[in-house]
Amino acid sequence: QVQLVESGGGLVHTGGSLRLSCAASGRTFSSYGMGWFRQAPGKEREFVASISTSGVSTYYADSVKGRFTISRDNAKNTVWLQMNSLKPEDTAIYYCAAGGSGVAIANRNVEYWGQGTQVTVSS
């Protein structure tokens, strides 16, 4: 069982930056691929980024490539999503996810979800 708690969301202007954190419970954090999804009002939840168990491999949605960076620290049981050059269309609830691998998460094969954190980008 893995519990995920996100933090770091908030309100930011267009072009600004935010760093989301996801703290995971349990001693098996390093065996899970980790990722981030987001869901805007009236839209389906979509994949944003994922990272392999070791942190060597990362995967991104085309819409965030070059602007967002996912990273993890297995010693701290934490995964981050650094978001730069934010746009109004990035406004959504962002969810942390844990799965079998980074590739699995990129294919929406998620085992655990966090509760979400709101990100709002004003124009």
CA gap 54, 52 in Å, rounded: 5
Assess contact for 95 and 38: CB atoms under 8 A. yes
Confidence of residue 63 (pLDDT cuts 50, 70, 90): very high
Residue 40 has φ and ψ, to the nearest 5°, of -90, 160
Confidence of residue 1 (pLDDT cuts 50, 70, 90): confident
The pLDDT assigned to 86 comes to 98
8-38 residue pLDDT tens: 999 999 999 999 999 999 779 999 999 999 9
Q: Which whole-number Å values give the CA distances from 48 to 40, 62, 63, 75, 76, in the listed order?
A: 12, 9, 8, 24, 22
Judged against a pLDDT cut of 80, whether residue 106 lies above it is answered with yes
76-104 residue pLDDT tens: 999 999 999 999 999 999 999 999 888 88
